[in-house]
Amino acid sequence: MQFIREENALIGRQEGETLRIEPWGPDSLRIRAWMYGSRSGTDWALTETPEAAQADITLFEADEPVGDGSFTRVPNARVENGRISVTVNHRGVMTFCRDGKQILREYYRSYGGTLVPRSRCLKIVNREWKGNIGGSEYQLTVKFDAREDERFYGMGQYQQPFLNLKGNVLELAQRNSQISVPFTVSSLGYGLLWNNPAVGQVIFGRNYTEWTARSTREMDYWITAGEDPKEILKKYTAVTGRAPMFPEDRMGLWQCKLRYRTQEEVLSVARAYEKEGIKIDQIVIDFFHWTVQGDWKFDKTYWPDPKAMVDELHRMGIRVIVSVWPSVDRRSENFGPMMERGLLIRTERGAAQTYDYQGDCVEIDPFNPETRKYVWEVCKRNYADLGIDAFWLDNSEPDFGVYDFDHYRYFAGPALSCSNMYPQMYSRIFYDEMARTGEPVVNLLRCGWAGSQKYGNVIWSGDVPSTFESFQEQLQAGLNIGLAGIPWWTTDIGGFMTDDVNDPDFQQLLIRWYQFAVYSAVLRMHGDRGPYNIPPLDERDWGGGYLHTGQPNELWSYGEENYRIMKKYYDVRIGMHDYIRDLYREAHENGSPLIRTMFYEFPEDPVCWETEDQYMFGSRYLVAPILHLNQFEREVYLPAGTWENVNSGEKVNGGRRITVPAPLDEIPVFRRC
């Protein structure tokens, strides 16, 4: 590889590949490579102007053995920016150091290099470009050497029980309840953003780490060095964006169920909460309040005067959020105009259909600016102009009928090349216009990507089962998505799918999940509650009345004792208002999540790096959720210092494990003294 300096960047060229390395904020580097003239020039998640940094670029020669015991001199280069540096050898193989100590090296097992001479015959190169037949994109594979002592965190949300992702294979693709946010925090003191929205895969293997993009024009990743995870996340969110300040009037209870079918149902629930003396901050109107998918308007049969409904809710101090799906039914009044103007996703083969739940649908293409304009104008006219405050952007992955990503194409290119960015572009249909008003924007989405935090997105963990196993997975999901830079995260309390609300085991799960949600970013009641014995409002196969509804899901719906416990913890939540406001401010100022891994607050404690079943709610509260059925005590690890048990008032010295009681009406929580 031949090297040159180009202003504040190092450029290397070899066999049709161009490599560009430059500083991108303090202690950080952006690494890009492309073949021939295929560079896209897109910043993807790196939307913020980085703090200026001057690179120290050194070109030098190093000895390379030629096989007969002699050496030849070959070009090498080094780029330093504060605490991080990278050395590139003559084959383009990169070695990264933090404070002079190696933290990451590309995996290279081929001829022409001295890194691992014992396995040159494998012919495995560090960056493999395979041209996609008939297209201008490549399948790109980038490999790094593995370290046995390294742990990986972040990467968004995956439905699996592991906090430490070492040994995991993760699909880089969006699905219902799976959120790919390709930023990882390493225990070795660095963070890496795979700045590419292509569908692919990452393997955090014991033998090597491998990143794959199935269709792309360039390699693009950003790497930073930091003292601890908090500093790493601060640097990451400085270049990808931070969440706005969360409004104080939505930090309490959000009420939702599948589904309120009429405006009178919504009002009756709101009036009942007011009578009970419980303030709800926001009430959610779920799907099929509309006529058909893609009409994006209330069905007048069951919502005859939505503005009057909204006005009454506003008088109670309740915000109103409505469900909007990206799917457009062929029966919709918007289908013909949108299809004709190319505003919907294009299928590469066969019939035009991307989604088939409750209709023959094609989903919108938010990469197209004309699509964004069209959808917003309809939703503004039918919702925002009536006083609706926010939007529940469901199915935002999008939820394809079949996840055959090579079958779809967007305005921005093949879905394989950019589909992971779909939920972010979908959210911007609403955020970009709502932000113009100067009012806080808080929309609810089922998915996101790197940088989604800056677009007013509350992201929830999707349609997950109502089981303790799933509850355990949501804890890991919430902690990891926070480390991927997204602090506004929530779940369906009790899980989404319940067969029988009268099952005592489910009700126990509901209480344990509710207690956890009190100590998380957003407290939100939602779920599809069986048994399904409530008849539909009419027999049509369309409109707001035909689809089923679930059982009641208000706090008082599960009996007096459960209501007592939920009311008790509702009061706990309201009592923490000022503290929660401070946590949201911290997220806005430095990117810190509200729920945090133990090592985020105690990086010097090795036990905290291994503790995965408890967490910190901000810097003050240690929360140990009950994750198993009929568990009424549990072990808790307290880091060094003095801790107060918030249930008993007892003060305890840390640096050890203790066993604490956990009756159904208590979640173990300790306050840092």
Query: Which residues belong to the active site?
Result: 394, 397, 463
**Phi, psi dihedral angles at 349 (to 5 degrees):** -145, 145
Average pLDDT, the chain: 96
- Sign of the torsion angle spanned by Cα atoms 334, 337, 341, 346: positive
How confident is the model over 440-467, as a mean pLDDT? 98
For residue 642, give the H/E element and its range: strand 642-645
Tell me how crowded residue 173 is: count the other CB atoms within 10 A of its CB. Answer: 19
Instruction: Tell me how many degrees the CA angle 389-392-398 measures, rounded to the nearest 5.
Output: 145
Residues 85 and 97: beta-carbon distance below 8 Å = yes
pLDDT at 297 over 70: yes
How confident is the model over 589-605, as a mean pLDDT? 98
Tell me how crowded residue 207 is: count the other CB atoms within 10 A of its CB. Answer: 10
Count Cα neighbours of 451 within 13 Å in the Cβ-side half-sphere: 23
Predicted pLDDT at 121: 85
Q: How confident is the model at residue 330 (pLDDT cuts 50, 70, 90)?
A: very high
* 259 upstream amide cis, omega within 30 of 0: yes
- Per-residue model confidence as pLDDT tens digits over 380-389: 999 999 999 9
pLDDT at 335 over 60: yes
Q: How confident is the model at residue 499 (pLDDT cuts 50, 70, 90)?
A: very high
What does the alpha-carbon distance between residue 169 and residue 667 come to, in Å, rounded to a whole number? 33
What does the alpha-carbon distance between residue 614 and residue 629 come to, in Å, rounded to a whole number? 17
Query: Which residues are within 8 A (CB) of 336 and not within 5 positions of it... i.e. 6 or more apart?
Result: none
For residue 273, give the H/E element and its range: helix 263-276
- Per-residue model confidence as pLDDT tens digits over 201-223: 999 999 999 999 999 999 999 99
Q: Which residue has the higher pLDDT, 543 or 454?
A: 454
Percentage of the chain lying above the pLDDT 90 cut? 93
Helices (H) and strands (E) in the chain, counts: 13, 41
pLDDT at 119 over 90: no
Q: Which residue has the higher pLDDT, 256 or 539?
A: 256
Which segments of 355-467 does DSSP mark as H helices, in order? 369-382, 415-418, 422-434
The residues that bridge with 355 in the sheet, in sequence order, are: 361
What does the alpha-carbon distance between residue 45 and residue 193 come to, in Å, rounded to a whole number? 9
Report which of 665, 611, 666 is spatially closest to residue 638, judged by C-alpha positions: 611
Residues 29 and 23: beta-carbon distance below 8 Å = yes
79: three-class secondary structure by DSSP = strand
Residues 489 and 460: beta-carbon distance below 8 Å = yes
Report which of 476, 477, 512 is spatially closest to residue 493, judged by C-alpha positions: 512
What does the alpha-carbon distance between residue 571 and residue 565 come to, in Å, rounded to a whole number? 10
What does the alpha-carbon distance between residue 178 and residue 171 come to, in Å, rounded to a whole number? 9
Report which of 146, 115, 144 is spatially closest to residue 211, judged by C-alpha positions: 144
Strands across the sheet with 94-98, in order?
56-65, 71-81, 84-88, 94-98, 101-105
How confident is the model over 161-168, as a mean pLDDT? 98
407: three-class secondary structure by DSSP = helix
Report which of 268, 371, 269, 260 is spatially closest to residue 323, judged by C-alpha positions: 260
How confident is the model over 351-365, as a mean pLDDT? 97
Burial of 297 (0-12, 13-18, 19+ CB in 10 A): buried
How confident is the model over 528-544, as a mean pLDDT? 91
* Structural domains in the chain plus CATH codes: 2-240 (2.60.40.1760), 248-328+365-400+418-589 (3.20.20.80), 597-672 (2.60.40.1180)
pLDDT at 120 over 80: no
Query: Which residues are within 8 A (CB) of 163 and not within 5 positions of it... i.e. 6 or more apart?
Result: 153, 476, 479, 480, 597, 612
Looking up tokens 């780029």 gives 79
What does the alpha-carbon distance between residue 43 and residue 485 come to, in Å, rounded to a whole number? 17
What does the alpha-carbon distance between residue 459 and residue 445 come to, in Å, rounded to a whole number? 5
Predicted pLDDT at 463: 98
Query: Which residues are within 8 A (CB) of 341 and not within 5 positions of it... i.e. 6 or more apart?
Result: 370, 374
Percentage of the chain lying above the pLDDT 70 cut? 98
Predicted pLDDT at 67: 65
Three-state helix/strand/coil letters over 549-614? CCCCCCHHHHCHHHHHHHHHHHHHHHHCHHHHHHHHHHHHHHCCCCEECHHHHCCCCHHHHHCCCC
Q: How confident is the model at residue 512 (pLDDT cuts 50, 70, 90)?
A: very high
Q: How confident is the model at residue 70 (pLDDT cuts 50, 70, 90)?
A: confident
